[in-house]
Amino acid sequence: MNKNLLIICRGGGDLATGIAHRLHCAGYRVLILETQEPAAIRRQVSFCEAVYEGEAVVENVRAVRINITDLWAEMQAVFADGGIPLLVDPEGMAINMLMPDIVIDAIIAKKNLGTRMSMAPLVIGAGPGFTAGEDVHYVIETKRGHNLGRIITKGSAAENTGIPGNIGGFTSERVIHAPEDGSLRNVSHIGDVVEQGQVIARILKPDGTEIPVEATITGVLRGLIKDRYRVTKGLKIADIDPRKEEQRNCFTISDKARCIAGSVLELVSAYANR
């Protein structure tokens, strides 16, 4: 098996982190590409936090932010130190510079933001927005249910319904969106047990007024966007898990991310063994 393959993963959110983490632990070299201001909700399990903090550790694996000016040397240094390099590169310029063996689009934008089959010998798209055999070689289903993690060789993943997956009997109720534009001011923290109606954050508007953000259900605050992040009305800013006993799950990779990551690893390993 060729473990010297270079894999580029577009995206560093919680699902992309699950993929990068699994590939890294299997011995593959992964470079993550992110935006300048990632808006991850499940920040405790998202390598994209390295954009803000310089590094991020998820389940004993460390991602380190590097610079494009000395891309090759810094990337190799992080690999040598046992970490995962992360580069702010939303346009994917590093793909042309490095010519990777594999490109994975795990941005989970529900649409294709520019990934093409010509980017690498193996290109994988996670979720809706991609068509296997047209813009990517394979698509991975990301919708919860019987087909979660299924490898699609022709066609697309299920369309985005806008309704979150069912957890503990709740779907859209467990997800909170910004009621107004402004700067978020967090009151609660990821891992807190919150009650329905409790103020978990406030949005500071440009005119100085504050809009409270209340918990929609009772449960564990599984995700909350970064404090002082500039939010727009309708942006997803928090996620509550109704299962109060699952506080520890806020700090570990989810079952969904692991399922999707397993399918990506299957494709990567098959390619490495070709």
CA distance linking residue 99 with residue 120, whole number of Å: 7
Same-domain pairing of 131 and 264: yes
Domain that holds residue 46: 6-160+254-272
- Please tell me the pTM assigned to this model: 0.94
Strand 138-140 to strand 122-126: parallel, antiparallel, or no bridges (unpaired)? Answer: parallel
CATH number, domain containing residue 116: 3.40.50
Residue 259 within a domain: yes
**155-164 long-range Cβ contacts below 8 angstroms, 24+ apart:** 155/131, 156/128, 156/129, 156/130, 156/131, 156/132, 157/127, 157/128, 157/129, 157/130, 158/128, 159/128, 160/110, 160/127, 160/128, 164/239
Residues 124 and 225 in one domain: no
Q: CA nearest 258: which of 9, 21, 71, 86? A: 21
Is the Cβ–Cβ distance between 84 and 20 less than 8 Å? yes
CATH of the domain at 201: 2.40.50.100
Tens of each residue's pLDDT in the chain, 274 residues: 677 899 999 999 999 999 999 999 999 999 999 999 999 999 999 999 999 999 999 999 999 999 999 999 999 999 999 999 999 999 999 999 999 999 999 999 999 999 999 999 999 999 999 999 999 999 999 999 999 999 999 999 999 877 777 777 777 889 999 999 999 999 999 999 999 999 999 999 989 899 999 999 999 999 999 999 999 999 999 999 998 767 888 999 999 999 999 999 999 999 999 8
Same domain, residue pair 237 and 262: no
Total domains present in the chain? 2
Q: Which two tokens stand for residue 46?
A: 């998202």
